Amino acid sequence: MNTRAYPIPELALQYIQYRKQQHFDRTTVYHDRMALRDFYQWLDMSKLQLTDLTRSHIYNFEDHLRKDGRTFAVRYSDKIRIANYFRWLQQAGHFHASIFDIFGLKAHRKLKVQLPEDAKKYLSYIKSFRKTSDGQTASISHFYKFLGKNHLSIKKIDRAHMEMFFQYLKSTGTGESHRSTTLYLLRVYLLWLYEHKKIKQDPHLLIRANDLPKVPKLLPRPLPPYIDLEIQNRLTQSDTVCHLALLLMRKTGLRMGELSNLSYECVRTDFNSQSFLKVPLGKLNSERLVPLDPTSLDLIKRIKEKAFGQTAGKQAYLIMNEDGSRPTKGVLHQVFKEVCDGIESSELLNSHRLRHTFASQLLNAGVSLVSLKELLGHHDIRMTLRYAAITQETIQKEFFSALEALNDKYALPVISPSESCILNPDQPIADLLKILKKWNESPTANQKAIASIQRKIKRIHAQLKTLN
């Protein structure tokens, strides 16, 4: 679809100028312009006005982009760009319908809560020794939003107010793990305020230990083998960067954040010419090396071959979109959902299960828990031990191996006078020798006598063979 020569209307040009004034970089503004040209050309082809648009029209536009060869990441990015344009139209009074109903996007969070100076000082303090303060910021913002809705001052909060906040958190629909983390981080903030004499109530009395919801201890959920193979086949047959990136995640067990942060030069080679993937600082703030087999190495080469134009070989990150931007974790999750479209499963299929499948497969193949811990980047072996609880293949293998060993050591053969045994004495003689061998293992056995009998049986066996 050639959009370069297609003119965009005056309103769209005003929006582009507005984006420039907001100090967006040139690349972002360029792709905004291209997305709007695509959209207005499609509107013209479909003989539609902005006021005619419904969600089904947006689905048709996305399908139009798909048929034109646009990847999911690009289609999703264009949809966000056009939705932002409509928000601007709405704020300027040029559009009055519900943007969220039309674009099918989840409602964006409202503007961040204006945090007081004490909260800003605390977050600045946290950033001085933590890699990120996103969790603390979200927890504090949740609390100040609650305070604002109820016209409360943090200096006057008591236990009754905190119990109201617990109910408020639960009403938002967040899970136990998220609520537990929010309350824990909030208590840390309140302790800081308490130590600086900003509040009078003891935070341990405001948020008690038993107020934190019990987090369910979920086991890892590897993909069933048939689903794992189907997903790998679909990803292998594709040639888009996001699909190849997800396949690399399956081959190396990376977390999604680690995958998106891989540097362009992420492959290391040792003195034995063995290749490794250098995993960047991630969730647990640690680096590690993951061995690469030839298939994974070729996969990284395929991803690098997708580098476009002047960015080829110069980009900082391995995983980049066709337009030069980096796909967010949200986009990669959405791409995985699209890949799984049509696969029947009784359980939710999400991209993190690729990591679980990688780990479980290695454990079933005999990799030790210590080695698996290092490959996955776990700080605590107890995290890795969770995989031992779900590797049924390993349990089954060890169970039957143990039974076989017990049978070899203690069980006596059952001799049946079948016709084959009568015609061929080899098996009965072998069984007899096996019985004697068992007897010989007993501490009270007459080993000299048993050895003599064994020699006689072997001589008789040799003589029988000459008669056949």
Find out whether 41 and 3 touch, Cβ atoms under 8 Å. yes
Task: Answer yes or no: do 266 and 298 share one domain.
Answer: yes
What's the pLDDT at 299? 93
Residue 434 Cα distances to 192, 402, 427, 459, angstroms: 76, 20, 10, 16
The full 3-state SS of 229-287, as one line of letters, equals: HHHHHHHHHCCCHHHHHHHHHHHHCCCHHHHHCCECCCEEECCCCCEEEEECCCCCCCC
- The residue assigned the tokens 């349990």 is 395
Tell me, yes or no, whether 386 and 427 share the same domain.
no
* pLDDT one-digit tens code per residue, 322-379: 666 778 787 888 889 888 988 888 888 989 999 999 998 888 888 888 999 999 988 8
Q: What phi and psi, each to the nearest 5 degrees, are found at residue 318? A: -75, -45
Q: How far apart are CA 167 and CA 149, in angstroms?
A: 14
Domain boundary among 187, 211, 235: 211
What CATH number is given to the structural domain containing 93?
1.10.150.130
Cα(412)–Cα(151) distance, integer angstroms: 82
pTM given for the model: 0.57
> Are 360 and 366 in contact, with CB atoms under 8 Å apart?
no
Determine what percent of the chain is predicted with pLDDT higher than 90: 25
Which domain range does residue 447 map to?
A: 413-467
- Are 369 and 234 contained in the same domain? yes
Residues (pLDDT < 50) of the chain are: 2-3, 106-111, 309-313, 419, 421
CB of 266 closer than 8 Å to CB of 226: no
Q: Is residue 69 part of a domain?
A: yes
Cβ-contact 439, 451 below 8 angstroms: no
pLDDT at 162: 94
Write the burial class of residue 360 (CB in 10 Å: 0-12 exposed, 13-18 middle, 19+ buried): buried
Q: Domain for residue 401, yes or no?
A: no
Same domain flag for 256 and 387: yes
- Bridge partners, residue 275, by sequence: 269
Tokens of 110: 């409202």
257 and 381 assigned to the same domain: yes
Distance, CA of 48 to CA of 30 (rounded, Å): 25
267 and 376 both lie in a single domain: yes
pLDDT of residue 411: 56
Q: What per-residue confidence (pLDDT) applies to 405? A: 66
**CATH number of residue 379's parent domain:** 1.10.443.10
Residues 308 and 449 in one domain: no
10 Å CB burial of residue 252 (0-12, 13-18, 19+) is buried
Question: Distance (Å, rounded) from C-alpha 51 to C-alpha 252?
Answer: 48
Two tokens at 61? 């536009």
Domain co-membership, 202 together with 241: no
User: What sign results for the dihedral spanned by CA atoms 84, 85, 89, 91?
Assistant: positive
Domain identity same for 342 and 238: yes
Task: Please check whether residue 113 lies inside any domain of the structure.
Answer: no
Closest CA to 12 of 28, 27, 45, 34: 34
The answer to the question of residue 405 being in a domain is no
Mean pLDDT score across all residues of the chain: 82
Half-sphere exposure of 3 toward its Cβ, with a 13 Å CA cutoff?
20
> Do 245 and 196 have their domain in common?
no
Domain-ending residue, one of 335, 363, 392: 392
CA dist 197 → 116, 191, 192, 201, 445 (Å): 16, 10, 9, 10, 84
Q: What is residue 219's predicted lDDT score, i.e. its pLDDT? A: 78
* Domain membership flag for residue 404: no
Asked if residue 235 belongs to a domain, the reply is yes
> Does the residue 399 lie in any domain?
no
Q: What's the pLDDT at 163? A: 94
For the CA atoms of the chain, what is the radius of gyration?
Answer: 33
The confidence score (pLDDT) of residue 313 equals 47
**pLDDT tens digits for 58-68?**
888 888 888 88
- CA distances 389 to 182, 364, 374, 402, Å, are 29, 12, 18, 18
Question: Do 41 and 169 fall within a single domain?
Answer: no
Number of independent structural domains in the chain = 4
Question: Do residue 249 and residue 152 come from a single domain?
Answer: no
279 in Cβ contact with 290 (< 8 Å): yes
Contact 282, 377 (CB under 8 A): yes
Per-residue confidence (pLDDT) for residue 448, from 0 to 100: 84
